């Protein structure tokens, strides 16, 4: 199995911090914070194993930008990434309830 390097751009890291801060400070749920944070790291680990195997997404908004989609393993978040050689570059992280396809425009 080929292991890909995964890089998360600063903007995507900041978005993840915003989601985690919301869980911790607004919803005041340490349990949710810990669970989503672990899921984020587990999903990054899984992406390193499967990044090269993902097909182009059916959404033209993503395919036109060369983006592929990886859903978090246990929560309703999605990473949009592109392949740069053997490296998966996570450009965006969204909650699935967001209209992320239109936010890319």
Convert the pLDDT of each residue in 18-77 to its tens digit: 999 999 999 999 999 999 999 999 999 999 999 988 888 888 889 999 999 999 999 999
Q: What is the pLDDT of residue 57?
A: 85
Which pair of tokens denotes residue 23? 């869980």
User: Are 77 and 93 a contacting pair, CB within 8 Å?
Assistant: yes
End-to-end CA distance of the chain: 35
Number of other CB atoms surrounding residue 74 within 10 Å? 12
Where in the chain are the domains?
Answer: 5-103
- Listed in sequence order, the DSSP H helices in 1-94 are 10-21, 30-50, 60-63
Nearest-angstrom CA–CA distance, 99 and 39: 22
Find out if CATH 3.60.130.10 is the number for domain 5-103: no
């Amino acid at each position: 199995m080929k292991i890909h390097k995964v890089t998360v751009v600063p903007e995507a890291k900041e978005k993840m911090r915003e989601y985690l801060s919301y869980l911790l400070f607004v919803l005041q749920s340490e349990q949710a914070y810990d669970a989503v944070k672990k899921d984020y790291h587990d999903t990054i680990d899984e992406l390193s194993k499967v990044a090269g195997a993902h097909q182009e997404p059916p959404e033209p908004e993503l395919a036109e930008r060369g983006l592929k989609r990886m859903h978090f393993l246990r929560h309703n978040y999605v990473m949009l990434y592109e392949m740069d050689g053997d490296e998966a570059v996570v450009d965006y992280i969204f909650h699935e309830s967001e209209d992320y396809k239109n936010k890319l425009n």
